[in-house]
């Protein structure tokens, strides 16, 4: 999936079509069913880059499917199970999608369940996710996607 340019400039803040939204919902459903290994097979480019939230502890940048899968497996081990639901999504430009998700997880050691908003800025090329920027703050995600409220 990639947004076609309609003119010389990029399309700004455009809702996803029904088929694009189905595709995106399907990606996050793969996460819920089979975690990072499933996404690696279904949607990620081999050279994917993952950027942790800038305000997360031990934040990092991970390059390539193997490194991203290992990193996300480690995160899942720390927080327990995690499921996601797409709340909203829009095109920021012809190849960038801003996605707002609800992340539900149960702390393995604490037993406390969390439901937190998380924002992903996805760069997509030829139907494959090439880069993910993750944020806990909506304003940071909007800025990263080149959008303003």
The number of angstroms, rounded, from the C-alpha of 119 to the middle of its chain's C-alpha atoms is 7
Domain locations in the chain?
A: 16-143
Q: Is the pLDDT of residue 9 over 60?
A: no
pLDDT of 39-87, one tens digit each?
A: 999 999 999 999 999 999 889 999 999 999 999 999 888 877 889 999 9
What six digits make up the tokens of 43? 């949607």
* Right CATH for 16-143 from 3.30.70.2740, 3.30.70.890, 3.40.50.970, 3.10.450.50: 3.10.450.50
Q: How far, in Å, CA of 106 to CA of 149, rounded? A: 32
Q: How far, in Å, CA of 122 to CA of 132, rounded? A: 5
CA–CA distances in Å: residue 148 to residues 60, 123, 138: 25, 18, 10
pLDDT of 75-123, one tens digit each?
A: 888 877 889 999 999 999 989 999 999 999 875 555 677 899 999 999 9
What six digits make up the tokens of 15? 């809702």
Strands (E), the chain: 14-15, 44-51, 61-63, 82-93, 96-106, 113-125, 128-135
Q: How far, in Å, CA of 31 to CA of 19, rounded? A: 19
């Amino acid at each position: 999936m990639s947004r076609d340019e309609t003119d010389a400039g990029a399309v700004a803040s455009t809702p996803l079509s029904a088929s694009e939204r189905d595709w995106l919902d399907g990606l996050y459903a793969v996460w819920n069913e089979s975690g990072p290994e499933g996404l690696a097979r279904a949607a990620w480019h081999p050279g994917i880059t993952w950027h942790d939230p800038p305000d997360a502890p031990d934040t990092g940048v991970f390059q390539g499917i193997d490194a991203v899968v290992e990193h996300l497996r480690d995160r899942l081990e720390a927080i327990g199970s995690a499921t996601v639901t797409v709340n909203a999504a829009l095109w920021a430009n012809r190849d960038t999608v801003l996605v707002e998700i609800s992340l539900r997880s149960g702390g393995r050691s604490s037993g406390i369940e969390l439901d937190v908003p998380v924002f992903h800025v996805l760069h997509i090329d030829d139907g494959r996710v090439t880069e993910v920027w993750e944020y806990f703050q909506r304003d940071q995600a909007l800025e990263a996607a080149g959008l303003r409220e």
